[in-house]
Structure 1
């Protein structure tokens, strides 16, 4: 699934005018992958081996010349041993921050069947990420296992969602229902209802 979005525009409550905090996303990803790879003392070839990717995928990403899919970024984050947000985090302001709905963009699949809007600015130093997710009827979104110890908490606010974790049977959730699960196993989100479903998702990484 290819990322087609710009990061949310966040506004400090102490300012009268909104301030754009995020430079070009490809530039952010390129800078973060390169920095984190050097910190891990990995060559581009070594990172490619750890993630099962082609070396040229790493080269193009670090050059800011490639579109990154969510699945690809998850694999790189796993290979580097960092949270997903560490790859797409820009420096955030101190103090209270408001992310306005009408000024934020979502991570979206090319077909628009699955969209995810960050409800807090990405911060690579935070062990928690918080999203609002929308999924159209009949769509199934599959996710690879995240880093060891990662958990997810999901609350449905509209519609019907089925969550599958590893080899467990699906869990059917309706509006108001919550599930907590180990996200270091392959998992999937499915809309089994007849209307678009919405849920809030908290991803927590082991410190």
Structure 2
């Protein structure tokens, strides 16, 4: 009895799932939206394409499939390319994150005690940390902070100011517009702050292990 009940429940859950739109329904909906966007009636599109109003109505409602030749005529009548009828079909869903200007999370790291500001520009990236982008600001009161060592590859892009940056035994002059990429497990960090205000993007890409 319990097995039958569970089976019925699974069937009901399956029936209640929202089906993926078929290509026929999707194309019909796309044509309908484009027609409305261009302020055209079905009669006007029928006149332009020499396709009957009843056929256009069936195509828009997903009640019939249209040949490529018919779709080409409809696209031409709407003033769009035929590919635009399929543009958003079967695009995989994904996640995106927008951090508005000034809303980056301020974090505390070595060197933040005096004059160093770190704003984390992306977070909540899932169970595995793939990267960390920071907007770093140093002012003329900044203390000389210790060098850093951590896993991954680091990329720096200078926005404002000038800084002498150390990586291992070498130092590099970074100016606005300069890019600097290096292995982050080698000791690195600012050696000398030259021109203020001083801001740069620092993005660390962490290694992944399968």
TM-score normalised by L of structure 2: 0.47
Query: Based on CA coordinates, which of the two structures has the bigger radius of gyration?
Result: 2
**TM-score w.r.t. structure 1 length?**
0.47
* Greater relative contact order (CA < 8 Å, ≥ 6 in sequence): 1
Q: Which has the higher helix share?
A: 2
